[in-house]
Amino acid sequence: MPETKAPFMCECGASLCDERIWLSPTDYAGLDGPCLAPRHTLDEGNPLEQGRQRRKRRRRRS
């Protein structure tokens, strides 16, 4: 049975972005970077990206 897809919010950091990306939880967990809608780019000042980068650094040290 295929995994059920769910809507994940675009993590581009734009304050008015309400785009959703339909992914399975496994696909979302496997992303190397932020979950971005087509043609969206990452706002480097985005708190979501900053938190994701901190988690990656912690994992590398462990």
Tally of domains in the chain: 1
Provide the pLDDT for residue 28.
Answer: 92
Q: Give a yes or no: residue 47 inside a domain.
A: yes
Q: Give a yes or no: residue 46 inside a domain.
A: yes
Q: Global pTM?
A: 0.62
Segment 14-21 long-range contacts (CB within 8 Å, at least 24 positions apart): 14/40, 14/43
Q: Give a yes or no: residue 1 inside a domain.
A: no
Structure tokens at 8: 């994940």
Provide the pLDDT for residue 57.
Answer: 74
Structure tokens at 26: 């496994």
d(C-alpha 52, C-alpha 19), whole Å: 20
pLDDT tens track for 8-57: 999 988 888 999 999 999 999 999 888 999 999 887 666 666 666 667 77
Full domain range(s) for residue 43:
6-61
> Which pLDDT band holds residue 1 (cuts at 50, 70, 90)?
confident
